[in-house]
Amino acid sequence: MKTSGQLPHEKQDRPGSEAVLAFPDETDLRVYGPAESQSAVFGDVCPLLTSLLDGYNVCVMAYGQTGSGKSYTMLGPHSDDGPVLPLDPQSDLGIIPRAAEELFRLISENPSRSPKVEVSIVEVYNNDIFDLLAKDTVAAVSGVKREVMTAKDGRTEVALLASEAVGSASKLMELVRGGLQLRAKHPTLVHADSSRSHLIITVTLTTAACSDSTADQACSATLPREQTEAGRAGRSRRTSQGASAPQPVPGDPAGRAEQVQARLQLVDLAGSECIGVSGVTGSALRETACINRSLAALADVLGALSEHRSHIPYRNSRLTHLLQDCLGGDAKLLVILCISPSQRHLAQTLQGLGFGIRARQVQRGPARKRPPSSQMEGKRRPD
């Protein structure tokens, strides 16, 4: 994969892989070699955070075989303490800590919209969903099991999911570090610290609504000039492709201001695995079977969407059911493929590229802003 923003003569190669970044919502495709920096990869994610502040749902998902560098790309180098902020300019930290820091930087540049940030963290392990922020465990060695459901407004939610309000990037990453301590892991012949579950971090941002012109001014105030111009060009391209941004819901009769609620989902998928190569047995063998089945279900959903089938098999796996809104809904979706250059892993590499082809073939509808849901408030656990 890649490393972070180090000087050219100090760069260290990523842990044995390339990352191919696909943009299903756009026409672009980016390929990053082993010597590319983490900051270069994040450069393609950064504009999506501006979209989040504008009220759009966003999902960034890393896919690839075990040991190909997905967690490195999303989180950074493995550490018992987890990612630590603030970022050092030459840090190898990944997308998630960089996104946390950039999100709160953007918020600090335009605090007049009264932003509220909440975080929830779940893992999908052996096709069950576990809440990694739940507080009703005594000496937790794993999260609390939850069920996915469809809310009255049509959105997919996790019942009784714990969420916590955060006021800084450091607090957000503190929660992430706590969740990572509970994530299921098991050593294999391919990866000594192999993740055995899909990790989904959801950041929910609620802000006072603003007009498109106000949003453009906010972008100009918070982004470097070149990023602002690139973002405007991207918005122009999406508009020409039929993308639209509906007006936010009006203020309620009590006179409260209009609000926009948007979700950022950061997904570190467990790696696809060849049993003959990884050498797993016993409980780890069952984990591998569940991982491969859920990833196959994800590929099936993308295939069904790309072929415009009348039935999309979201419920074949709890992973795809949970990600239904971002896969076939109104979110801006970025898929990152992490692939190994090793001849030994050729079959898994070709499978990963096939997944990327399916993702790029999906013709998704225009991204839309989503209003806040009063039903969601009733389902959240009290702090």
Give me the tens of pLDDT residue by residue for the chain, a chain 383 residues long: 333 332 233 334 555 445 444 444 555 678 888 888 899 889 888 999 999 998 899 999 999 988 888 999 999 987 766 666 666 656 789 999 999 999 999 999 988 878 999 999 999 999 999 999 997 655 455 679 999 998 887 888 999 999 999 999 999 999 999 999 999 887 777 777 778 899 999 999 998 776 554 444 444 444 443 444 444 444 433 333 333 343 344 444 454 567 888 999 999 999 888 776 777 778 888 898 999 999 999 999 999 999 999 999 999 999 999 999 999 888 899 999 998 888 888 888 888 889 988 888 887 766 776 655 443 444 444 44
70 annotated as a binding-site residue: yes
Domain residue ranges of the chain, discontinuous segments joined by +: 2-382
Asked if 317 contacts 353 with a C-beta cutoff of 8 angstroms, the reply is no
Pairing of strands 58-64, 332-339: parallel
167 annotated as a binding-site residue: no
pLDDT at 123: 96
Contacts of 13 (CB under 8 A, 6+ apart): 3, 34, 35
64 annotated as a binding-site residue: yes
Contacts of 210 (CB under 8 A, 6+ apart): 113, 218
283 annotated as a binding-site residue: no
Closest to 267 (Cα-Cα) out of 78, 63, 55, 76: 63
- Quickly count: other Cβ atoms within 10 Å of residue 40's Cβ: 15
Asked if 15 contacts 1 with a C-beta cutoff of 8 angstroms, the reply is yes
Q: What are phi and psi of 99, to 5 degrees?
A: -65, -40
pLDDT at 11: 39
Residues in a beta bridge with 205: 117, 262
Instruction: Round to whole Å and give the CA distance between 117 and 95.
Output: 18
69 annotated as a binding-site residue: yes
55 annotated as a binding-site residue: no
278 annotated as a binding-site residue: no
Helices within the chain (DSSP H only):
38-53, 70-74, 95-109, 169-182, 212-222, 225-240, 275-278, 283-306, 318-322, 324-328, 346-361, 374-379
68 annotated as a binding-site residue: yes
pLDDT at 25: 52
Structure tokens belonging to residue 143 = 């999260």
pLDDT at 142: 64
Can you tell me whether residue 342 is helix, strand or coil?
Answer: coil
Total residues found in the chain within this entry: 383
Instruction: Round to whole Å and give the CA distance between 305 and 105.
Output: 36
Can you tell me whether residue 186 is helix, strand or coil?
Answer: strand
pTM (global) more than 0.85: no
Q: Which amino acid is at 327?
A: L
Give the CA-trace dihedral at 122, 141, 75, 2, to 10 degrees: -120
Structure tokens belonging to residue 266 = 């950061």
CATH number for the segment(s) 2-382: 3.40.850.10
